[in-house]
Structure 1
């Protein structure tokens, strides 16, 4: 883990025990909002809003074996009327590797992505199923999926047991080599900055899950009163 650089002026810091959270003020106060299905051009090498794939053109990278087991359990609960690729999942599983650390790609996108026109609804089958049983979708989905467009960079702190976690907007560079080929990256284009609330409010549930309630409340206070 690399040492954390000095925080730029654009960042807000909140200490939480051995972890110092740094938040990118400009993104969290921006009006970015997900426009999936409303003009999102996806992450392919050409703009493809008609496919409604969003960031699901690749399989989700899972955060270890525990998350893999969790996704497997939720996938087993999906009914065919909500999961377009239910038959493919039964035949070949939902994972794209033997270690079960990524979701499988079927017909050019994540196996969990219901395509436009599917009777059970387009979009993530895990998300749709969670909503149907009145549970938070972020509990059902891979963490990378519900965290986007937020990214956390971890670095060493100033003492041996301390860490610095920087929460910022995801960028094209975070897609690594795939980012060079993407025709469009939603956080770097003007179209998604049309939300009716700042990101710190619209993604309150996601931010709270990432940093905890106390840190989130303090973040809100500091963004409202920088002094």
Structure 2
């Protein structure tokens, strides 16, 4: 079950124009959105917990390399959330001057550009509480959001709450001479990480181990998708996903298919 399916499998897509912006088309990956993927971080290893992206640090999940911020607003929002943390809720409280560090990130042209990200301390993100910490292992910001009764997206860096949903933007020139903007919603698979993604020891979206959620992604990630697309565009997407779900998929996610087969296998007594 920890094995991953082969990449580059068949996918089915749906396109529709944003109800709030008729010049923007949403192109959504139904294979991903109807999959049964769900985050398994924090589960006990014996019950199929997250093996982590580095086999030597399974308890750290995908928090090893820190998170790149999208913009100044992303940094400011996270810094406001940090003020809510205490030594009892954040293992690395006041062990550094700043949680934000300078780095570089490859752009769409393959060139390195200046970027800012969360600091990495002792082999993992500065906000990651390690195993054995009193408040529990995991993201200190996520845990604080749970205590405050708000969605984690209000406290965490954008990339952290978006993963493993991938949103991209591009412009398309049509044969009739018009230009449209396209918002792409799909799976953040290994390839989406760039060359480094293929060095992970494990990645969840391609593994049947993580495709055991009770709801498909378009429903379990409804809040995140609405934030990425806008409410009206998400509502339309949900309608189309539900209709495809009722009719049956042409190209279901192979990891979800493998997980269902595993669950349906008779157990030996």
Shorter chain as normaliser: what TM range?
A: 0.7 to 0.9
Aligned CA distance change for structure 1 residues 47 and 30 (closer, same or farther; 3 Å): farther
Match of 1:110 among 117, 121, 125: 125
Paired with 1:97 and 1:77, the residues of 2 have a C-alpha distance of 24
Whole-angstrom distance in 1 between the partners of 2:145 and 2:37: 24
CA distance in 2 between partners of 1:196 and 1:133 (Å): 25
Larger of the two Rg values belongs to structure: 2
Q: CA deviation at 1:81?
A: 1.1
Counterpart in 2 of 1:14?
16
Question: 2:29 pairs with 13, 24, 28, which one?
Answer: 24
How far does residue 162 in structure 1 lie from its aligned partner after superposition? 2.9
1:203 equivalent in alignment to 2:221: yes
Of residues 125, 135, 151, the one that matches 1:120 is 135
Following the alignment from structure 1 to structure 2, what is the Cα–Cα distance between the partners of residues 178 and 207?
Answer: 26
Is the strand fraction higher in 1 or 2? 2
Match of 1:66 in 2: 73
**Secondary structure in 2 matching 1:93:** coil
Q: How does 1:30-109 map to 2 (within 5 A)?
A: 30-38=35-43, 39-44=49-54, 46=55, 48-49=57-58, 52-88=59-95, 91-97=96-102, 101-109=116-124
User: How many angstroms apart in 1 are the aligned matches of 2:180 and 2:155?
Assistant: 31
Q: What displacement does 1:100 show?
A: 7.5
Consecutive unaligned residues in structure 2, runs of 5 or more? 1-9, 44-48, 104-113, 248-269
Q: Note if contact 1:24-1:169 (Cα within 8 Å) is conserved in structure 2.
A: yes
> Secondary structure of 2:51's partner?
coil
SS at match of 2:208: coil
Q: Is the 8 A contact 2:51 2:61 kept in 1?
A: yes
Using the alignment, how far apart are the partners of 1:152 and 1:220 within structure 2?
A: 16
Assess, with a 3 A threshold, how the Cα gap between structure 1 residues 9 and 87 changes in structure 2: closer, same or farther: closer
Residue in 2 aligned with 1:187? 205
- CA change 1:100–1:112 in 2 (3 A) is farther
The count of residues paired between Structure 1 and Structure 2 equals 215
Q: By how many angstroms is 1:225 displaced?
A: 2.0
From 168, 173, 187, the equivalent of 2:186 is 168
Name the TM-score, length of structure 1 as normaliser: 0.88
Q: Give the conservation status (yes or no) of the 8 Å contact 2:11–2:29.
A: no
**Residue in 1 aligned with 2:154?**
139
TM-score computed with the length of structure 2 as normaliser: 0.75
Superposed CA offset, 1:20-51 (max 9, x none)? 1111001110100101123212122x3643xx
Task: Answer whether contact 2:68 2:115 (CA < 8 A) is retained.
Answer: no
Give the conservation status (yes or no) of the 8 Å contact 1:59–1:96.
no
Q: How well do the aligned residues superpose, as a CA RMSD in angstroms?
A: 2.0
C-alpha distance in structure 2 between counterparts of 1:87 and 1:120, whole Å: 16
Unaligned 5+ residue runs, structure 1? 1-7
